[in-house]
Amino acid sequence: MDKNEVIQALKTAREVSKKRNFKQSIDLVINVRNLNLKKPEQNIDLFIQLPIQTGRKTKICALVDYDLEKQAKEFCDKVILKDEFKNYENKKKDLRKLGREYDYFIAQASIMPQIATLLGRILGPLEKMPNPKAGCVVPGNIASLKPLIEKLRNTIRLRTKNELVVRALIGNEAMKDEEISENALMVYNTLISNLPQEKHNVKEVLVKLTMGSSIVVGKKYEKNELELLIQKKEKPSGDLSLKKKTPKEKDLEKEHGK
């Protein structure tokens, strides 16, 4: 996969995507093959720092003791001190809300046992527990949290989970294709370097806008194929201003501040 192929796919994805009244995200979807996900060593779980910011606000919550209180309050979106843990005991609803609201949780290493006791059952299933692989478990005497927070602001996680596909947010429709393509190549190249057969484990790479059609990177679309996709985009459905929005559209508009 090369940069020109990605840029062409992005142009096509924009062309066949219906205009929405919110800023759509752009995703890279990589279908992989010849992996046995029942084997832990063949599962993908990577943290990648993208070269270009995606425009999405990454929210970070710090779980620390007084050693890191000042730093955490300066750089993080929310800080919960060890002495405040008691305020969340037996409040599963509040803990679930907390887990869904924040993208990353950083933790002071010395209080990890208390964090695990309080939040393990909530953050574990959400895959939000402070992860050492992402640098999210820090010593109480760390010189500065700033570099870690800046890194996390533009870090994404690649996972196969239970299916042979990896999805990554690589930008939004307000960004230039050149910028988005840099993020796409970073994701692709990092992924194949962690696959046992490298690019031979990749079946197909696609790009798509949030509510748009998936476009295969490297595929040369015939004129009739594009016309069909555009017709699908422009298919009349009555007065669009009166059309009832789907729950997904409502959630997306809320997420993007509309």
Residues 148 and 159 in one domain: no
Q: Tell me, what's the pLDDT at 234?
A: 53
pLDDT digits (tens, 9 = 90+) for 188-241: 999 999 999 999 999 999 999 988 889 999 998 887 888 788 776 655 433 333
**Which tens digit of pLDDT belongs to each residue from 102-119?**
999 999 999 999 999 999
* One domain for residues 51 and 76: no
**In a shared domain, residues 177 and 101:** no
pLDDT of residue 244: 46
Count other C-beta atoms under 10 Å from residue 39's C-beta: 8
Q: Angle, nearest 10°, between helix axes 3-15 and 177-193?
A: 120
pTM of the model: 0.82
**Same domain flag for 43 and 102:** no
pLDDT at 53: 93
Give 22's DSSP letter. Answer: S
Q: Among 108, 125, 153, where does a domain finish?
A: 153
* Residue 254 backbone dihedrals phi, psi, to 5 degrees: -65, -45
Closest residue by Cα to residue 194 from 52, 51, 32: 32
Specify the length of the chain in residues: 258
Instruction: Give the closest residue to 28 by CA, choosing from 176, 213, 207.
Output: 207
In angstroms, how far is the first alpha carbon of the chain from the final one?
Answer: 35
Distance CA 215, CA 229 (A): 10
Residue 239 is assigned to a structural domain of this protein: no
| 238 domain residue, yes or no | no
Helices (H) and strands (E) in the chain, counts: 8, 10
- What whole-number distance in Å separates Cα of residue 119 and Cα of residue 92? 9
The Cα angle at residue 50 between residues 45 and 53, in degrees rounded to 5: 130
Radius of gyration over every alpha carbon of the chain, rounded to an integer in angstroms? 21
pLDDT value at residue 239: 37
Per-residue pLDDT of the chain (258 residues; tens, 9 = 90+): 999 999 999 999 998 888 888 899 999 999 999 999 998 888 999 999 999 999 889 999 999 999 999 999 999 999 999 999 999 988 889 999 999 999 999 999 999 999 999 999 999 998 899 999 999 999 999 999 999 999 999 999 999 988 999 999 999 999 999 999 999 999 999 999 999 999 999 999 999 998 888 999 999 888 788 878 877 665 543 333 334 444 544 554 444 444
18 CB contacts (<8 Å, ≥6 apart)? 211, 212, 233, 234
Q: What is the pLDDT of residue 21?
A: 85
Q: CB under 8 Å to 157, separation ≥6 — which residues?
A: 45, 46, 47, 48, 127, 134
Please check whether residues 147 and 28 belong to one and the same domain. no
**Residue 111's domain spans which residues?**
60-153
What's CA 164's distance to the chain center, in Å?
A: 17
Burial (0-12, 13-18, 19+ Cβ within 10 Å), 228 = middle
Domain count, the chain: 2
CATH number of the domain to which 110 belongs = 3.40.50.790
67 and 134 assigned to the same domain: yes
Joined tokens for residue 36: 């046995």
The SS3 of residue 208 is strand
